[in-house]
Chains A and B, each alone.
Chain A
Amino acid sequence: MIALNLSWSAIRALVTRAVVLWALLRALVTAVMLMASATGGSGDRLAGPRPFAVVVLCAVLGLVDLKRRREASLWANLGLSRTHLAFLFAIAATAGELLLATVRR
Chain B
Amino acid sequence: MPILVADCVAKSFGSRRVLSAATLRAEPGQVRVIFGRNGIGKSTLLKIAAGQMSPDSGVVHFRGKAHLEVHQATLARDGVFYLPDHELLSESFSLRRQMRFYEERFRRRSVADAAAMANVSHLLDRRPRSFSGGELRRAELALVLVRRPDCLLADEPYRGIAPVDHDVLTRLFRRLAADGCAVVVTGHEVPTLLEAADHITWCTAGTTYELGTPEAAKRHLEFRRDYLGPHGG
Contact = CB atoms under 8 A, between A and B. Distances in A.
Nearest to A77: B76
Across the A-B interface, give the 9 residue pairs with the lowest CB-CB distance, nearest first.
A81-B73, A7-B105, A79-B77, A10-B101, A7-B104, A76-B72, A70-B87, A7-B101, A71-B90
Interface of A: 3, 5-10, 13, 69-81, 84
Interface residues of B, number: 26
Contact of A9 (B74, B76, B82, B101): B101
A77 B147 contact: yes
Given A77-B82, A79-B76, A84-B73, A69 B91 contact: yes
B73 A10 contact: no
Nearest to A81: B73
Interface string B129-169: 00000000000000100010000000000000000000000
Contact of B104 (A3, A10, A73, A76): A10
B202 interface: no
A76 B52 contact: yes
A79 B98 contact: no
Contact of B76 (A8, A13, A76): A76
Interface string B80-118: 011010011111110001101110110000000000000
